[in-house]
């Protein structure tokens, strides 16, 4: 961890840079229980993340200075994690790949690999404009067994199908 205090004309700017390693749930808490929440809102409140993670964190915190100088960058590396979106009844396992949060770009990932519905899935996370406010969009691509899809959607007509159904899905998390 390195800490640097930058004097400004009005107040100071505290820079904190560090590396973290530990439970992935703590990384999720960092996104939910710090000023980063101002950018993400409550969209992560129903998520649980388990397993271990490593992260690089860079913070700029204004002390008596203009709040617009605040900055955050959090780079997380996931390796074999599990993410549960309880409100949507989605359970991702064996998650591998990078995750990034910056104040300017929000939550993003160029590519995560995981398992969903007992099958491989690829995911990309990006910020999207929702009527002038930034929200998160997750693009998913994979295939699902028709019986598992029928169970998840509670649509019995899907039981007339057999085999895997390829899908490209989008999960929108507006602010």
**100 to 40, 105, 160: CA distances (angstroms):** 13, 9, 41
Helix boundaries (H) for 20-141 = 24-32, 37-40
What does the pLDDT average to over 51-61?
Answer: 89
Query: Is residue 10 very low, low, confident or very high in pLDDT (cuts 50, 70, 90)?
Result: confident
What does the pLDDT average to over 22-47?
Answer: 73
Q: Please answer whether residues 74 and 55 qualify as being in contact, where contact means their C-beta atoms are separated by less than 8 angstroms.
A: yes
**Least confident range of 1-10, 94-103, 106-115:** 1-10
3 state SS of 124: strand
For residue 160, pLDDT over 80 is answered with: yes
Look at 96 and 42; give whichever has higher pLDDT: 96
pTM of the full predicted structure?
0.80
Both structure tokens of 52: 């271990």
pLDDT digits (tens, 9 = 90+) for 119-130: 999 999 998 888
């Amino acid at each position: 961890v390195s800490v640097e205090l930058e004097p400004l004309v009005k107040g100071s700017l505290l820079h904190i840079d560090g590396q973290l390693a530990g439970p992935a749930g703590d990384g999720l808490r960092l996104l939910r229980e710090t000023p980063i929440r101002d950018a993400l809102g409550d969209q992560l409140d129903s998520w649980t993340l388990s397993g271990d993670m490593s992260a690089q964190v860079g913070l700029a915190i204004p002390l008596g200075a203009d709040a617009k100088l605040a900055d955050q960058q959090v780079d997380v590396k996931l390796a074999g994690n599990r993410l549960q979106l309880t409100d949507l009844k989605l359970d991702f396992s064996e998650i591998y790949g990078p995750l990034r949060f910056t104040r300017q770009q929000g939550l993003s990932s160029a590519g995560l690999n995981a398992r969903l519905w007992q099958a491989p899935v690829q995911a990309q996370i990006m910020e999207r404009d929702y009527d002038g406010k930034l929200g998160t969009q997750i693009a998913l691509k994979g295939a699902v067994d028709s019986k598992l899809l029928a169970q998840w959607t509670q649509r019995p007509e899907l039981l007339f199908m057999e085999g895997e159904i390829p899908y490209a899905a989008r999960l929108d998390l507006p602010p």
